[in-house]
């Protein structure tokens, strides 16, 4: 596996692959890799000839009181895992490569509407940071396909809208959420959980499952949302949102909409957990 820290050298190698007629896939990450990330590398290998993984802890995705400084950084272990998984290149640029004029002077990319709801409401500017860095990665790597996890469902919808609206020639593929044996969605931030918090955390997915079953049985959306929020708070989580949305665009569902997604975010101590579950509702 080749490792690039500069945009110019990464572009030169990728250009050689492209001239050879090879299909290129990009898997963007912030490192601290786990089995969920590695499953995306597998999906990339199945759909392409060359797999580029990016590793960049993007400061534009973190608010002033969030965990940028303590976000897990495990570069050596990440490299070992990616090489074993069959990635062909790792693009791991320093801050100065991605934001040479500094963070404040960086042109931002904004996806209106989708960026202000759900996670965007409680984390203002977060999706601008996501959209900006993904656009820069797409311009650097110029992949034929990019693979993102369904665990970050709102992010996936934002990126699909970004690609559509800016006419970017990138196929966006989604990998299913990878879970621990007890159902907790894998996340780099799970390492923050205490033993007591870790025992509570799987209830987030359990309540999503209960909500999905209720929707399949014809329950009203408002009641499902209120019930899920109340039960999670009672268990000991501090709920940010528990929301049923239309899967296609995260709009509030109409009675005629069948393809839905239930999204939840909640705090356990200082750790913010997110999860979601898609559900087909009879209409």
- Residues making up the annotated binding site for ATP are 30-37, 149-152, 178, 186-189
CB atoms within 10 A of CB 147: 27
Residue 220 located in a structural domain:
yes
Q: What CATH number did the domain enclosing 11 receive? A: 3.40.50.620
Confidence of residue 282 (pLDDT cuts 50, 70, 90): confident
Residues 216 and 209: beta-carbon distance below 8 Å: no
The C-alpha atoms of residue 194 and residue 177 are separated, in whole angstroms, by: 23
Mean pLDDT of 236-252: 97
- Residues making up the annotated binding site are 30-37, 61, 149-152, 155, 178, 186-189
Query: What digits encode the pLDDT tens for the residues 119-128?
Result: 999 999 999 9
Confidence of residue 172 (pLDDT cuts 50, 70, 90): very high
Last residue of a domain, one of 141, 175, 209: 175
Q: Count of domains in the chain?
A: 2
Query: What digits encode the pLDDT tens for the residues 81-115?
Result: 999 999 999 999 999 999 999 989 899 999 999 99
- For residue 192, give the DSSP letter: G
Last residue of a domain, one of 149, 175, 201: 175
Write out the catalytic residue numbers: 37
pTM attached to this predicted model: 0.96
150 with 192, same domain: the answer is no
136: containing domain: 2-175
CB atoms within 10 A of CB 277: 20
200 with 171, same domain: the answer is no
59 with 150, same domain: the answer is yes
| 275 has pLDDT over 90 | yes
Query: What digits encode the pLDDT tens for the residues 173-220?
Result: 999 999 999 999 999 999 999 999 999 999 999 999 999 999 999 999
127 with 212, same domain: the answer is no
Residue 221 located in a structural domain:
yes
The C-alpha atoms of residue 57 and residue 180 are separated, in whole angstroms, by: 24
Question: What are φ and ψ of residue 233, in 5° steps?
Answer: -60, -40
Residue 121 located in a structural domain:
yes
């Amino acid at each position: 596996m080749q490792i690039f820290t500069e945009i110019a050298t990464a572009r030169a190698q990728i250009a050689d692959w492209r001239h050879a007629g090879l299909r290129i896939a990009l898997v963007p990450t912030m490192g601290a890799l786990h089995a969920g990330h590695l499953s995306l590398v597998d999906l990339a290998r199945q759909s392409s000839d060359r797999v580029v993984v990016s590793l960049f802890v993007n400061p534009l995705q973190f608010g002033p009181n969030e965990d940028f400084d303590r976000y897990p950084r495990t570069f050596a272990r990440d490299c070992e895992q990616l090489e074993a998984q069959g990635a062909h290149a790792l693009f791991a640029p320093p801050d100065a490569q991605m934001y040479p004029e500094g963070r404040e002077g960086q042109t931002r990319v904004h996806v209106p509407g989708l960026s202000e709801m759900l996670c965007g409401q409680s984390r203002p500017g977060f999706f601008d940071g996501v959209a900006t860095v993904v656009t820069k990665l797409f311009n650097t790597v110029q992949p034929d396909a990019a693979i993102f996890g369904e665990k970050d469902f709102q992010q996936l919808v934002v990126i699909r809208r970004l690609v559509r609206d800016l006419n970017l020639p990138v196929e966006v593929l989604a990998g299913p959420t990878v879970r621990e044996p007890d159902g907790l969605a894998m996340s780099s931030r799970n390492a923050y959980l205490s033993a007591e918090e870790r025992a509570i955390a799987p209830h987030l997915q359990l309540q999503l499952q209960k909500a999905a079953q209720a929707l399949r049985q014809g329950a009203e959306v408002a009641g499902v949302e209120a019930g899920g929020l109340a039960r999670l708070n009672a268990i000991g989580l501090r709920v940010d949102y528990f929301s049923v949305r239309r899967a296609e665009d995260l709009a509030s569902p109409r009675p005629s909409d069948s393809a839905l997604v239930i999204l939840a975010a909640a705090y356990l101590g200082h750790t913010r957990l997110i999860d979601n579950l898609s559900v087909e509702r009879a209409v």
